[in-house]
Structures are given as C-alpha cells and as structure tokens.
C-alpha cells in the first residue's frame, strides 16, 4: 500500500507542485506518475507537476502514482491567477509611511495600475509608497486599488490614518475632572430646601385649619337639613296639627260624632299663647322660618373663618420661604437663590452624566482623541447655563406662572438635569420654538447675504 504526499494542493497557471510516493512505513518508492484529465497539466517521472500555461476558470486535476499492484491519487485545484496587495491593511500615525506590493502568482509580468480614493497627495505612484502627513487630527481611511487587464484581476487595501494617542496624564486629568464634577451631587443635597410647614407655628395653624374645615362640613350639613321641607305625620300642616286637640275614641260611633268641643278656658289659653308667639316672631316670619336663616348664617361664618385661616397659612408659608435657611457650604440662602443654585448644579450634573458616559465609551474602545478635551471640559458649564435659561423661562411665566413657594424643587432639579443630559436636543427645541415664534422674511431683502448651501455658524 502506498500514499502520495501531499494529498491535495492548489496551483494557478504556470505553477509547479512536487509530489512524493511512499509505502506504509514512510519509505520512498519508485512509481509511475500520470495526470488526468488530458490538458490539465503535466507530471514527470520525479513527480513534479506543472499546471497549464493559462487557466481561465477553476478546475480540478488528479495525479496518480502506481507502484506494482499498489496505486494512490492526489487532488489538485486549478485556479485562475489572483491579484493581491501586501500588506492587506495598514494603520499609520503622523509622519509614518507604508510601501505596498501587488503580486499575482502565475502571471508573467502583469501590467498593474493603481488608484487611491480619496485623492491623497502623499501617495507615490512610482514606488507605491503611502506617507501620512506630519499632523493627523482625526481618523481617516484611504482605499488603494490595484488592477490588471491580462489576466484580469483587482485587489484593494485600506490604509487608516489615526491620530496620536493622548498622553496618559491628559487622560488621567480629564477623568479626575469628571469625577470631581460628580461632587455636585453633594452640593445639590446641601442646598435642598427644608419642607414647608415644618415649624411649630405652621403646624399649629394647620391643626386649627383642620378643625375649621370640620366645622364647615358640620355647618353645611345643618344648613342642608334646615332647608329641607318639614312634613307632619299624615302629610298635614304641622302648625294646624299642633292646634287641633286630640279627641279620644270612645268606641261609639265615628270620631266625628264623639268629638266634644273644647272648653272655653282652653280655647282662650291657646289663643293667648299664639298671640304671644306671633308678637315675638319677626314681621312676616313664623317660628319655623328662622331655622334655615340661622343655619345659613352659621355656615357663612364657618366658611369665613376657614378662609381667614387659609390666608394666615399662606402668609406664614410665604414668610417661611423668604426666610434664609442655613447650608453647610453656601451659608444662609433664601428660597429664590436656592432654586437658582439647584437649577445650575442639576444642569451641570446632567451634563456630567452625558460627558462621563461618552468619555468611558471612547476610552474603552481606544478611540479617544485629545482634540475633544475642550468639549469634555465645557460640557458641565454648557449644561448648567442651558438649565439656568430653561429655569428663567419657567419662572418668568412663559411656560407657567408660579411663585417660589409653589415651585417644586424636585421638578426643577429633574428638568435641569434632563436639560444638561440632552443639551443638543434642548438647544434644537429652543431653535425650533424661536424660529416658529419669530419667523421673518426680512433676510430676503438683505444685501450680500450668504449663498444657498454655505456653512452657517453653529
């Protein structure tokens, strides 16, 4: 039993490949060599195979070795010539260069043309050398293409121009700066205003207001009950029912037949009492008509007392809001200035979140560039300034009307932080609002105006 080494290989036009036959112990044996199919190349007695002079399409050839009664075969893949560029990719920093070479195995002195996209003044077409400029401020990629006509082929390679890595000290300093910006969280906590109504006087006023609220509800229920119509048993008039003496039922005949007229003295006594009550009652009003009026008067008094107490609480809250409260880092601060500080610091804190996330992402991907240092330094300042603008618009009444007592510090801090985090979207929204509110066609009449498509200041 014999075998061929190698058992398979890949060649292109005009190339050679050497094959060796050996027994099962690895000792060389003399063999007769043949190749199939016809025209797929030639092989000599030593086992050296030569491919055809031209290969237009991929094909397969089989080499056979025969030694006595034993035989073995090997497979050859025939492929057209392929153009390639070495090296396959390159990354250059400022001042570095790279020489490229185009190879096409199997092709005898092919004519190669080169092209660079986009145009690069540092490309030498004679030596096929690409040189990076003396200063690289941002990453750029150039594509270099090599082409041949006979045999046809093409290959491309990418060359990246990358800026110099920022120094470790710059990265460390910028990271420390962003970490220091996180300390704004403690400043916001220190400036957080105390809850309104936390003093003993306000607590007492609120307790009195609760009692007056209960009195108003009771008076309202009493007034409603007094205003309801009074019905006597049986549906009659209560006054007439009260003046009609009860007649006992003797069981003889009907109640009408057994009724006896009242005594004269009783009639006079009843009439005298009626005359007395009529004299004491207001003119035109009976004793039953005074109850609703009295209930209504009590309700109005209770509501007036409650309104007065609410005014006292409002005045006390306003006075408490204007009273400066002590802080650890900012001394005594009144509520108006305190809300401004919260807006400023919360905006800077939101911008810090955005900047820190960007810094960590680019640093982790090794794409951080020192040219963006200014952006990271000014991001918290831009965020705080923009948050202050939004706060002034809010307090100025453009969005809503509210005093410092009514403003919720949680809302101010949250809105300011969001403005700082999304400074780009916030400025775009302001641009959209003002472009809509103050749209004008006056610029059409301006002389020497910028041409269409010219870059505008940002």
Q: What is the pLDDT of residues 210-255, one digit of tens each?
A: 888 888 888 888 888 887 765 444 544 444 444 444 444 444 444 4
Residue 397 has pLDDT above 60, yes or no: yes
Answer whether residue 453 is part of any domain: no
pLDDT at 400: 52
Burial class of 317 by CB neighbour count within 10 A (0 to 12, 13 to 18, 19+): middle
Q: List all residues 6 or more positions away from 428 whose beta carbon is below 8 Å from its beta carbon.
A: none
Answer whether residue 414 is part of any domain: yes
Specify whether 22 is located in the same domain as 117: no
pTM of the model as a whole: 0.45
Specify whether 9 is located in the same domain as 48: yes
Specify whether 319 is located in the same domain as 343: no
Give the whole-angstrom CA distance, residue 5 versus residue 15: 17
Give the whole-angstrom CA distance, residue 458 versus residue 315: 48
Per-residue confidence at 49, pLDDT binned at 50, 70, 90?
A: very high
Question: Considering its fold, how many domains does the chain have in total?
Answer: 4
Specify whether 73 is located in the same domain as 93: no
Contact 180, 186 (CB under 8 A): no
Specify whether 60 is located in the same domain as 136: no
Give the whole-angstrom CA distance, residue 332 versus residue 316: 19
Answer whether residue 248 is part of any domain: no
Answer whether residue 449 is part of any domain: no
Nearest to 319 by CA among 187, 205, 191, 192: 205
Answer whether residue 146 is part of any domain: yes
Hey, how many other C-beta atoms are within 10 angstroms of the C-beta on 37? 10
Hey, how many other C-beta atoms are within 10 angstroms of the C-beta on 229? 4
Answer whether residue 368 is part of any domain: yes
Per-residue confidence at 4, pLDDT binned at 50, 70, 90?
A: very high
Specify whether 286 is located in the same domain as 352: no
**Of the ranges 255-264, 317-326, 371-380, 418-427, which one carries the lowest mean pLDDT score?**
255-264
Greater confidence (394 vs 456) lies with 394
Answer whether residue 13 is part of any domain: yes
DSSP 8-state class, residue 250: -
**Parent domain of 141:** 84-161
Greater confidence (167 vs 200) lies with 167
Specify whether 231 is located in the same domain as 300: yes
Instruction: Give the ranges where 168-254 is alpha helix by DSSP (H).
Output: 168-182, 184-191, 200-227, 238-243
CATH code for the domain in which residue 19 is found: 2.60.40.10
Greater confidence (299 vs 5) lies with 5
Give the DSSP H/E element, type plus range, for residue 154: strand 153-161
Alpha-carbon distances, residue 253 vs 167, 171, 244, 263, 409 (angstroms): 126, 119, 20, 22, 87
Contact 388, 421 (CB under 8 A): no
Answer whether residue 342 is part of any domain: yes
Whether residue 87 has a cis bond before it, omega within 30° of 0: yes
Specify whether 217 is located in the same domain as 309: yes
Whether residue 118 has a cis bond before it, omega within 30° of 0: yes
Specify whether 296 is located in the same domain as 362: no
123-151: average pLDDT = 85
421-449: average pLDDT = 73
């Amino acid at each position: 039993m014999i075998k061929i080494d190698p058992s398979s290989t890949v060649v292109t036009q005009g190339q050679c490949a050497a094959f060796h036959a050996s027994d099962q112990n690895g000792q060389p044996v003399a063999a007769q060599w043949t190749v199939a199919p016809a025209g797929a190349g030639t092989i000599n007695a030593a086992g050296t195979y030569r491919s055809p002079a031209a290969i237009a399409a991929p094909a397969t050839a089989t080499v056979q070795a025969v030694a006595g009664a034993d035989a073995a075969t090997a497979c050859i893949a025939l492929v057209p010539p392929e153009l390639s560029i070495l090296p396959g990719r390159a990354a250059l920093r400022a001042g570095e260069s790279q020489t490229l070479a185009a190879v096409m195995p199997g092709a005898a002195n092919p004519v190669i043309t080169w092209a660079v996209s986009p145009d690069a003044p540092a490309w030498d077409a004679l030596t096929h050398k690409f040189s990076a400029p003396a200063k690289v401020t941002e990453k750029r990629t150039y594509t270099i293409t090599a082409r041949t006509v006979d045999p046809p082929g093409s290959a491309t390679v990418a060359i990246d121009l990358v800026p110099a890595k920022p120094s470790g000290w710059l990265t460390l300093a910028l990271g420390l700066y962003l970490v220091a910006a996180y300390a704004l969280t403690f400043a916001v906590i220190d400036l957080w205003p105390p809850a309104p109504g936390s003093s003993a006087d306000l607590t007492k006023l609120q307790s009195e207001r609760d009692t007056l609220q209960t009195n108003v509800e009771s008076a309202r229920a009493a007034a409603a009950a007094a205003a309801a119509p009074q019905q006597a048993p049986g549906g009659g008039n209560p006054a007439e029912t009260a003046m009609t003496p009860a007649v006992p039922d003797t069981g003889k005949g009907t109640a009408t037949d057994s009724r006896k007229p009242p005594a004269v003295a009783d009639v006079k006594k009843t009439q005298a009492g009626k005359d007395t009550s009529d004299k004491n009652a207001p003119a035109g009003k009976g004793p039953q008509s005074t109850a609703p009026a009295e209930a209504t008067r009590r309700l109005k008094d209770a509501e007036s007392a409650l309104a007065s107490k609410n005014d006292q609480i409002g005045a006390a809250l306003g006075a408490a809001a204007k009273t400066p409260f002590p802080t650890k880092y900012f001394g005594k601060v009144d509520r108006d200035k305190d809300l401004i500080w919260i807006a400023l610091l919360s905006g800077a804190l939101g911008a810090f979140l955005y900047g820190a996330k960007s810094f960590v992402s680019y640093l982790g991907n090794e794409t951080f560039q020192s040219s963006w240092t200014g952006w990271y330094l000014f991001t918290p300042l831009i965020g705080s300034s923009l948050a202050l603008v939004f706060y002034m618009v809010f307090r100025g009444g453009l969005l809503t009307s509210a005093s410092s007592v009514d403003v919720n510090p949680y809302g101010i801090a949250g809105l300011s932080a969001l403005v700082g985090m999304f400074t780009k979207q916030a400025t775009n929204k302001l641009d959209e609002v003002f472009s809509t509110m103050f749209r004008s066609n006056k610029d059409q009449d301006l002389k020497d105006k910028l041409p269409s498509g010219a870059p505008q200041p940002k």
